Structure formats: C-alpha cells, structure tokens
Amino acid sequence: MDTKPLEIEAESYIKSELIKYGFNVTKPDFDTEGTDLLLVDTVKTKFTHILRIQCKGRTINNNGSNISIPSNYVDDNFIVFLYLRLENYESKLYIFFFEDIEGWKKTNGNYIFNFTKKSIEKDYLKDKEFKLTHSYSLKEILRNSKIKKYTSVFIDSIFLNKAIKRTIERYQDIYPEKTFEAPRLEDAIKYILSYYDNFKTTDKTINVLYVYNPVVLQQTETIENTPSKFFIEKSTSCNLRIEKTDEFVNFEILEYLKRTVNSENIILVADDILYEATLNELKDKGVEVTLIQFKSYDGRQMYTNHYWGDIILPLGRSLGLRAHEL
C-alpha cells in the first residue's frame, strides 16, 4: 500500500496544528536524524532554540499498528507526533516527548510503540492527545533546548565548475610544467571551509548542499553523484547532500537560502545576478551570508554588501598547489 499520501496528510495536519498554537514551523534544509519539521524559537536571529519533529501517520485495523523510531534519533530536542486517521474522516493527534519515547519497548536499536483500537481509548493515549496544555509544555522545552551551532553551505554547481575551469586555466599559464585535473568536490569544500568558515568551534555541524542540473551542466566534472559524510578536521564532520534538479540551479538554492535564517554561518558558493535581490533582503533583516565568488577582474556578476571571498584561492589549493604558489 502506498503510504505517501498519508505521510503528506499527517505532516500537513501537524504543521497546521503547531502554527495554530503560535509556533514557528519550517522544513529542514537537510534530512538528518528523522527530522520532518523544525520548531524555531525566533526566526529573525541566527542564534535560536530549535526542536526536531518527526511526523508519523497511521491507520488502525483489528490487528493494531505501531511506530518505530531509531534510538539514535532520540534526545531532549526530539518530539514525535502520531497522526491517526480513523473512520468517517475522523482523526486524532498524539504527542510524545523524550521521556515518553524512552519508555517504549526497545528492540534492535529502535524504540517501538504498539497500539490497538482498544488502547487508544485508555488513559495513557488519552493523556497524549495533543491539546493546549501540551503546547505549553512544548514551548517550555523549546525555550530550554540547547542552541546548536552549525554552518550551512550552498553550492551552485554551474558556478563551481566554471570556477574550476578558470582556476585550472590560470595556474596552467603560471605553471606550464604542471598538470592539473579537476579536484574532487570534497577537496574543494574542505579548502573553501578552511579559508572562509569563520566559526572555529568544535561543537558544530557542517551541512553542504550541492545542487546541479545535468542538462545545463552537461557533465559534473568534480564528483560522483552520491551523498557522503567526511571530516574537515578530526572533530568536525561535514554532511554532503547532492541534489539533482530539472529547474534552474539558482532558483532551487534561493528557496533553501530563504529558509536558512537560523544558521550560525551561511556560506553561498555562487556568482549570479539572480541571487542579488534575495541576498539584499537577507542583509536588511540582519542575516549575514559569506559569498564565495569571483573577484571583479575575474568577471564577478554579483554585488552585495555581504562579506565575500575569492573562489580561486581555495580551488587552487584543491588542485594541489601550496599556499605560497597561489
């Protein structure tokens, strides 16, 4: 049976209920640790409290049903909502906090909650049916949640590959005895972050989104199109997400960029005039973005008041050049 329509119905209903009670709700830019929705305490600041929401949609028959949550998803900032579709277009919504989930049966690394038609009428589930008092508890948990620091990197593949070609051409003229090949995406990212990630804390997550359109790009010169996780430093891991689109790459990235107002550090690897209006709007709201683009004499297309860095420098290092050779 196709459960996708029920999943969409559940998520939409849960989002509408949360908005009704005054929560700021958004979709995560990166699908990590079972997060379907994010509750954000303050949308106009880059330092904010966040809760991760997993949405479950179920029907129930005579045999009952269950939900299963990987135990490594579960912490103080993780909330589970269960949307139960009943007969005659009726439905119920339940909320489970950290301490509730910890009380479920644990099997093979998963927390499992079983329920039947009879059990939904019992006191335990009646107490978990989402209502105003639960929204107060949810707001208290949100206010007391730990602020997590992370860097979000958005890479326009069209620009990056253009910049790689230009970097190779430049250094082939300078060092005609050397042979340069297009670097791996991971190496390019490592050096971009090494040069331009200004937040040097170890308690941080780095999420990188690389968006490409195969028709426009013709071929991707730097990567195999598979997501990966790698380490920038020994203690700092980087989650790389590769996203294919049939639309314009910059349109896709703009949609993500507009939602990413609560990142500790936003880095945009791009150089296209189509980004300017959105970047200026973010600047007016107090959201800072670090732009990685061309210098003026290399043909820069995008001009804003955000801080910026030269793309040629990290790409030169990713080609194998040493710092003094740039």
**For residue range 54-104, what is the model confidence (pLDDT) as tens digits?**
999 999 888 889 999 999 888 888 999 999 998 888 899 999 999 999 999
Question: Looking at the structure, do residues 133 and 255 belong to the same domain, yes or no?
Answer: no
Task: Count structural domains, the chain.
Answer: 2
Query: Residue 170 and residue 313: Cα distance in Å, rounded?
Result: 11
The pLDDT value given to residue 213 = 84
**What percentage of the chain carries pLDDT values higher than 70?**
84
Query: Residue 52 and residue 28: Cα distance in Å, rounded?
Result: 9
Residue 73 lies in domain: 4-144
Question: Looking at the structure, do residues 20 and 125 belong to the same domain, yes or no?
Answer: yes
The pLDDT value given to residue 1 = 47
**Predicted confidence (pLDDT) per residue in 188-239, tens digit:** 998 998 899 876 655 567 888 888 887 776 554 555 445 565 555 555 667 7
Amino acid letter for position 325: E
3-state secondary structure of 91: strand
The pLDDT value given to residue 217 = 66
CATH number at residue 102: 3.40.1350.10
The pLDDT value given to residue 68 = 94
Average pLDDT over residues 146-170: 86
Mark which of 78, 110, 144 sits at the end of a domain: 144
* Helices (H) then strands (E): counts for the chain: 10, 15
Mark which of 144, 177, 208 sits at the end of a domain: 144
Q: What string of DSSP letters covers 209-274?
A: EEEE-HHHHSS-SS--S--EEEEEETTEEEEEEEEE-SS-HHHHHHHHHHH--S-SEEEEE---GG
Say if residues 221 and 182 touch (Cβ distance below 8 Å).
yes
Residue with tokens 């955000």: 306
- From residue 59, how far is each of 95, 113, 260 by CA, in Å? 16, 14, 34
